[in-house]
A and B are shown apart, each in its own frame.
Chain A
Amino acid sequence: MNGSVRSSAGLIWRHQRLVWWIFAVNLGVAWVSSLSVRATLRTVLDLSLESAKLVKGFDFSTLVLLTERPDVSPRALAPDAIVAALLFVIFLLFIDGGVIAVFLDDRKLSRSEFFENSGLYFWRMVRMAIYSIVPFGLLIAADGSAAKLAGKLASNVPQDWVGFAVNVGSKLIIVVLALFVRLWFDLAQALVVRDNERKVLGTLRRSLTLAFRSGKLFASYIGIGLFAAATFGIGAGIWFFLPHSATSASFLILEIVTVTQIALRLWLKAASARWIALLPDEVAPTFSLPVRENQTLVEGLTDVQPPLPDPPMSE
């Protein structure tokens, strides 16, 4: 583990309450959105002996028959879930400024500081999220094309495995490219917060250049991505081998997986924020919290610092 990965992991550990808060909101909105599902299911399952087939063992046909009911069909229930997911995304966009400020400064911000940063950068984060739809959309389109090609190969090439291999290989490449896009936008977010930069497009251009120069940071992204996949796999593996009747244990494991994924996502953000924090800047000097009238600068930070010799991970 290189120093930057270690130091950003330390950041997450020190500021873990961010992870728990995000997890709480994630679970909260999902739970609230599922209340109507719960109420509908109660009327169908709670007084029915048939429900045992979903607890003692897991009978797929019982689940399918349940979802074939108009009141429990995924089509009827999906809108609530989508709204909940979008609310969570908006929440993340809102706190992004505060979270990055914490990582740049590596200290606990007061509630007002945190939300001030959140509010200050909210619309810029929203604009960046909208811009990020373009590269992510292109990647999704590329994935679709690759899947189509893999399907054709699977159908037409004499060897059975070729289509499958192309499918898996292309998906891996797409994931790596998606990590790069995420790095690009994470760097841009950190620059925006560090420099209080208003020109989002200009910042994105600059962060793209930086992203290409950030070899070690990108390697850290891939490493953390692999770690995320591994923890997901381990969690899913444990869940897979739990007995069907161990419902509470199953949820506990899967929620641990969820909170781990949130932590790992923040780890990526922290890594890019630290990288930017240590990056010398040609225009804006260095990160400083927004200054209100009659407020002094944060202790230990000056508005002008000598440029650092080199970005720490740009070899």
Chain B
Amino acid sequence: MKNRCWQICVIAIVALLTVAGTAQGSPLSERIVAYQIEGAYNAKTHTLDATEVLTYTNRTGTTLSKFPFHLYLNAFQPKSTFMTEAQQTGINGMEQDSEWRDKHFGSNEVKSLEIVGSGDVTKQMKFVSPDDGNADDRTVFEIALPKPLPPNQSVQFRIHFVAQFPEVVARTGYKRDFLMAGQWFPKVGVWWNGAWNCHQFHAMTEFFADFGTYDVKLTLPAKWNVGASGEMTGAKDNGNGTQTVSFHAEDVHDFAWSADPATKVVEDSIKLSSGTVKIRMLMQPGHMGSSARYMDALKGTMRKFDEWIGPYPYPQITVVDPPHGAVAAGGMEYPTLITADTSWLMPKSVLIPEVVVEHEFGHQYWYGMVATNEFENAWMDEGINSYMEAKVMDALYGKSTSYVNSRLGTLGERGMFLTEYVPSSDRDPLSRPGWLFLDEGSYGGNNYGKTALVMLTLENLVGEKTVMRGLRAYFDRYKFKHPRPQDFTASMNEAMGQNLDWYWKQAIYGTEVLDDRILTASSERVDWYSKADEKKGVTVYRSEVIVHRRGTFDLPILLEAKFDDGSTVRERWDGKDRWHRFGWDRKAKLVSAEIDPDHGYWLDRDRFNNSWTAKADGKATGKVAGYWTLLTQWLALVLSCLT
């Protein structure tokens, strides 16, 4: 009876909240899930004892008889798929071939699982490993419903679980008193493309979930500052050294929170087309020097997204600044909450704090609202977001100085992506599921780097404004949905008014590599047999440039030729053969030739062979070889400490 009353109360609260949400305006998303979680955090053991009530509404159009759930924290166990992959490749805060460390242990232990109205089904929980068959991986379990769930009906799960947080690894965990709680609760899979999509937690992949509402109540040590997805709806001092804080978030597909007694709260707001958005930053005391840098970058980014892509519809954005030693918790996105990254010695010339805040805020659009499947299509969130990162950072901090701007040298976002992409340019197609990439270098170089370069190269083909128009249309159509790659390409084609499937096929589904080069270039007298002296402006020269398509990526080529009378010629070649000969008879000699003279083919992996000059210039060679000589001299001097 007691149980029954509780269930009625929960259903009533859910109904009230739904009505309240609807009363404020129609929901932005389908709201398939409604999570209510109440838990108490033990700061000494880094555990959270919690109860989750999940109401799932079946909008699949089909009857559901089983439900898969993620238990992400179980990834942090020695035999899990995550740990096996991480140990092999040395990623995500783990050291390659390192010994197992108990501090990295994490778990989601389901104490009981009840289907409201059908009773306890804990014993029927069955761990499955859909990706690799690893019987020791416990990051996904399934539960069969005693009664199948017809379309448009709801089912409620009541789960009592204990989350054991690891010392920070792979975005989540504690460090001293700091806690970043990400992927911390049992989370239902997504019915997508006519089937359940619930992958194991892999070392290289991220997440996928359905939209809904979250009401979370947390009991924590008193006076700890808490930041979370959504907005704080209540805070109560319990008078026993603890406090209870409540949060509500809607039209989001995840809920993360962070707590730390040491943080300083910095608050501000920004006016956007959607209204005023509150900015709340939880800063480490030693990182206050980066506070203004975070804020400027965040505001600049929010304005650019508002202008270029669409309104930010949430009332708040929270930025969590992790402490030193918790870098693995930094640079991560959750709905309406992002984690930043800096250090107390961060030089102003290195724009890491700005880049990270920009990138993670961008995920509010590409992941947060356009909720792609990060397991299978990482390029659709990381890559498109990286393209936007290049656009926004270039606009805010300069094209060639948007990553490093020091007297020693400069580095722009585009150059950065190119250096990431080139070493792994022919290894994996973007369309490959994340956990099947060769290694972290290929995962990052392709999903982040290549996708950004694909979009930047596309600008050169159809124009910058056209690409942005296409992206905006894609956002409008698929916000609060789960688009697939073909949805993206079809939407872009339609918005740009061109069928670019030939481009997408190579760029997304293939491993074609772009490497066009000038094979030879020359300028010879047409009357080569003549004994007469050459006369400038009179003698006619036959100039030739042979362009070689060294790579396999098929793109039309634009060549610019410059002559010694100051004239310039630009000619196109469709790039349909392996090579092409450009030729001109002119009263001037060829002085230089360049493929892609506007430097828009960012996918070209060798830019050094794109140009040719008649006159050799040894300055760069002298400089680089000179520094190499100096390095050798100093290596010799260091070794000579033995003499």
Give the contacting residue for B633; candidates A30, A42, A60, A96; CB below 8 A.
A30
Q: Tell whether, in the assembled complex, residue A51 and residue B608 are in contact, meaning their CB atoms are under 8 Å apart.
A: yes
A159–B286 CA distance with the chains assembled, in angstroms: 8
Q: Is A180 an interface residue (CB 8 A)?
A: no
Partner-contacting stretch, out of B34-42, B122-130, B411-419 = B411-419
Q: Tell whether, in the assembled complex, residue B641 and residue A178 are in contact, meaning their CB atoms are under 8 Å apart.
A: yes
Which of chain B's residues 249-304 have a Cβ closer than 8 Å to chain A?
262, 284, 286-287
Q: Tell whether, in the assembled complex, residue B639 and residue A86 are in contact, meaning their CB atoms are under 8 Å apart.
A: yes
Q: Is A120 an interface residue (CB 8 A)?
A: no
Q: Tell whether, in the assembled complex, residue A247 and residue B412 are in contact, meaning their CB atoms are under 8 Å apart.
A: no
- Chain A residues within an 8 Å CB radius of B432: none
**Which residue of chain A has the shortest Cβ distance to B625 in the bound complex?**
A38
Q: Is A238 an interface residue (CB 8 A)?
A: no
Q: Tell whether, in the assembled complex, residue B628 and residue A59 are in contact, meaning their CB atoms are under 8 Å apart.
A: no
Q: Tell whether, in the assembled complex, residue A160 and residue B624 are in contact, meaning their CB atoms are under 8 Å apart.
A: no
A127–B69 CA distance with the chains assembled, in angstroms: 68
A96–B432 CA distance with the chains assembled, in angstroms: 62
Q: Tell whether, in the assembled complex, residue B344 and residue A160 are in contact, meaning their CB atoms are under 8 Å apart.
A: yes
Q: Is A208 an interface residue (CB 8 A)?
A: no
Partner-contacting stretch, out of A129-137, A198-206, A297-305 = A129-137
Which of chain B's residues 164-218 have a Cβ closer than 8 Å to chain A?
175-176
Given contacts A34-B629, A34-B632, A64-B419, contact A52 B620 (CB under 8 A): yes
Distance in Å: Cβ of A108 to nearest Cβ of chain B: 22
Q: Is A283 an interface residue (CB 8 A)?
A: no
- Chain B residues within an 8 Å CB radius of A222: none
A261–B629 CA distance with the chains assembled, in angstroms: 16
Distance in Å: Cβ of A206 to nearest Cβ of chain B: 20
Q: Tell whether, in the assembled complex, residue B418 and residue A51 are in contact, meaning their CB atoms are under 8 Å apart.
A: no
Give the contacting residue for B626; candidates A159, A163, A247; CB below 8 A.
A247
Distance in Å: Cβ of B375 to nearest Cβ of chain A: 30
Partner-contacting stretch, out of B354-362, B581-589, B609-617 = B609-617
Q: Tell whether, in the assembled complex, residue A45 and residue B624 are in contact, meaning their CB atoms are under 8 Å apart.
A: yes
Q: Tell whether, in the assembled complex, residue B625 and residue A34 are in contact, meaning their CB atoms are under 8 Å apart.
A: yes
A30–B287 CA distance with the chains assembled, in angstroms: 44
A164–B344 CA distance with the chains assembled, in angstroms: 10
Q: Tell whether, in the assembled complex, residue B629 and residue A31 are in contact, meaning their CB atoms are under 8 Å apart.
A: yes
Q: Tell whether, in the assembled complex, residue A57 and residue B632 are in contact, meaning their CB atoms are under 8 Å apart.
A: no
Give the contacting residue for A96; candidates B344, B422, B643; CB below 8 A.
B643
A260–B603 CA distance with the chains assembled, in angstroms: 46
Q: Is A44 an interface residue (CB 8 A)?
A: yes
Partner-contacting stretch, out of B400-408, B465-473, B504-512 = B400-408
CB-defined interface of A52-79 with B at 8 Å, one 1/0 digit per residue? Answer: 1011011111111110110000000100
A54–B34 CA distance with the chains assembled, in angstroms: 56
**Which residue of chain A has the shortest Cβ distance to B521 in the bound complex?**
A47
B side interface size, CB within 8 A: 64
A225–B506 CA distance with the chains assembled, in angstroms: 59
Q: Tell whether, in the assembled complex, residue B415 and residue A60 are in contact, meaning their CB atoms are under 8 Å apart.
A: yes
Q: Tell whether, in the assembled complex, residue B637 and residue A258 are in contact, meaning their CB atoms are under 8 Å apart.
A: yes
A142–B616 CA distance with the chains assembled, in angstroms: 50
Q: Tell whether, in the assembled complex, residue A241 and residue B407 are in contact, meaning their CB atoms are under 8 Å apart.
A: yes
CB-defined interface of A247-271 with B at 8 Å, one 1/0 digit per residue? Answer: 1001100110010011001000000
Q: Is B325 an interface residue (CB 8 A)?
A: yes
- Chain A residues within an 8 Å CB radius of B636: 26, 29-30, 84-85, 88-89
Q: Tell whether, in the assembled complex, residue A258 and residue B624 are in contact, meaning their CB atoms are under 8 Å apart.
A: no
Q: Is A33 an interface residue (CB 8 A)?
A: yes
A47–B633 CA distance with the chains assembled, in angstroms: 28
- Chain A residues within an 8 Å CB radius of B343: 160
Q: Tell whether, in the assembled complex, residue A54 and residue B635 are in contact, meaning their CB atoms are under 8 Å apart.
A: no
A side interface size, CB within 8 A: 74
- Chain A residues within an 8 Å CB radius of B617: 46, 51
Q: Tell whether, in the assembled complex, residue A265 and residue B621 are in contact, meaning their CB atoms are under 8 Å apart.
A: no
**Which residue of chain A has the shortest Cβ distance to B413 in the bound complex?**
A61
Distance in Å: Cβ of B353 to nearest Cβ of chain A: 15
Distance in Å: Cβ of A175 to nearest Cβ of chain B: 11
Distance in Å: Cβ of A73 to nearest Cβ of chain B: 10
Q: Is B592 an interface residue (CB 8 A)?
A: yes
Q: Tell whether, in the assembled complex, residue B613 and residue A49 are in contact, meaning their CB atoms are under 8 Å apart.
A: yes
Q: Tell whether, in the assembled complex, residue B635 and residue A45 are in contact, meaning their CB atoms are under 8 Å apart.
A: no
A156–B178 CA distance with the chains assembled, in angstroms: 11
- Chain A residues within an 8 Å CB radius of B637: 26, 258, 261-262, 265
Q: Tell whether, in the assembled complex, residue B640 and residue A265 are in contact, meaning their CB atoms are under 8 Å apart.
A: yes
A9–B284 CA distance with the chains assembled, in angstroms: 51
Distance in Å: Cβ of B583 to nearest Cβ of chain A: 19
Q: Tell whether, in the assembled complex, residue B623 and residue A247 are in contact, meaning their CB atoms are under 8 Å apart.
A: yes
**Which residue of chain B has the shortest Cβ distance to A258 in the bound complex?**
B633
Q: Is A110 an interface residue (CB 8 A)?
A: no
Give the contacting residue for B635; candidates A27, A31, A81, A262; CB below 8 A.
A81
Q: Tell whether, in the assembled complex, residue B176 and residue A156 are in contact, meaning their CB atoms are under 8 Å apart.
A: yes
Q: Tell whether, in the assembled complex, residue A33 and residue B419 are in contact, meaning their CB atoms are under 8 Å apart.
A: no
Q: Tell whether, in the assembled complex, residue B409 and residue A57 are in contact, meaning their CB atoms are under 8 Å apart.
A: yes
Q: Is B631 an interface residue (CB 8 A)?
A: yes
Q: Is B619 an interface residue (CB 8 A)?
A: yes
Given contacts A26-B633, A58-B410, contact A65 B642 (CB under 8 A): no
A64–B623 CA distance with the chains assembled, in angstroms: 15
Distance in Å: Cβ of B5 to nearest Cβ of chain A: 46
A47–B612 CA distance with the chains assembled, in angstroms: 5
A84–B637 CA distance with the chains assembled, in angstroms: 11
- Chain B residues within an 8 Å CB radius of A158: 176, 262
Q: Tell whether, in the assembled complex, residue A45 and residue B419 are in contact, meaning their CB atoms are under 8 Å apart.
A: no
Distance in Å: Cβ of A115 to nearest Cβ of chain B: 17
Distance in Å: Cβ of B615 to nearest Cβ of chain A: 9
**Which residue of chain A has the shortest Cβ distance to B175 in the bound complex?**
A155
A86–B410 CA distance with the chains assembled, in angstroms: 34
Which of chain B's residues 141-164 have a Cβ closer than 8 Å to chain A?
none
Give the contacting residue for A48; candidates B323, B609, B625, B628; CB below 8 A.
B609
Q: Is A154 an interface residue (CB 8 A)?
A: yes
- Chain B residues within an 8 Å CB radius of A77: 628
A178–B638 CA distance with the chains assembled, in angstroms: 12
Give the contacting residue for A247; candidates B414, B612, B622; CB below 8 A.
B622
**Which residue of chain B has the shortest Cβ distance to A44 in the bound complex?**
B608
Give the contacting residue for A59; candidates B286, B400, B643; CB below 8 A.
B400
A60–B594 CA distance with the chains assembled, in angstroms: 22
Identify 21 residue pairs between A and B in the complex whose beta-carbon atoms are under 8 Å apart, listed by A's number. Answer: A30-B633, A37-B628, A41-B625, A42-B616, A49-B613, A51-B619, A59-B400, A59-B411, A59-B412, A59-B415, A60-B411, A65-B418, A85-B639, A92-B643, A158-B176, A158-B262, A159-B286, A160-B286, A240-B407, A254-B630, A255-B630
**Chain A contacts to B: CB under 8 angstroms:** 26-27, 29-31, 33-34, 37-38, 41-42, 44-52, 54-55, 57-66, 68-69, 77, 80-82, 84-86, 88-89, 92-93, 96, 125, 129, 132-133, 136, 154-156, 158-161, 163-164, 178, 182, 240-241, 244, 247, 250-251, 254-255, 258, 261-262, 265
Known A46-B616, A81-B628, A161-B344; further 19 A-B contacts with Cβ < 8 A: A30-B629, A30-B633, A31-B629, A34-B629, A48-B613, A49-B611, A50-B607, A51-B617, A57-B410, A65-B415, A69-B606, A82-B635, A88-B636, A89-B636, A160-B287, A160-B344, A161-B286, A247-B622, A265-B637
**Chain B contacts to A: CB under 8 angstroms:** 175-176, 262, 284, 286-287, 323-325, 343-345, 400, 404, 407-412, 414-416, 418-419, 422-423, 592, 594, 606-613, 616-626, 628-643
User: Which 10 A-B residue pairs are closest in the complex by CB-CB distance?
Assistant: A61-B415, A155-B325, A51-B620, A58-B409, A88-B636, A160-B286, A30-B632, A49-B611, A85-B636, A46-B616
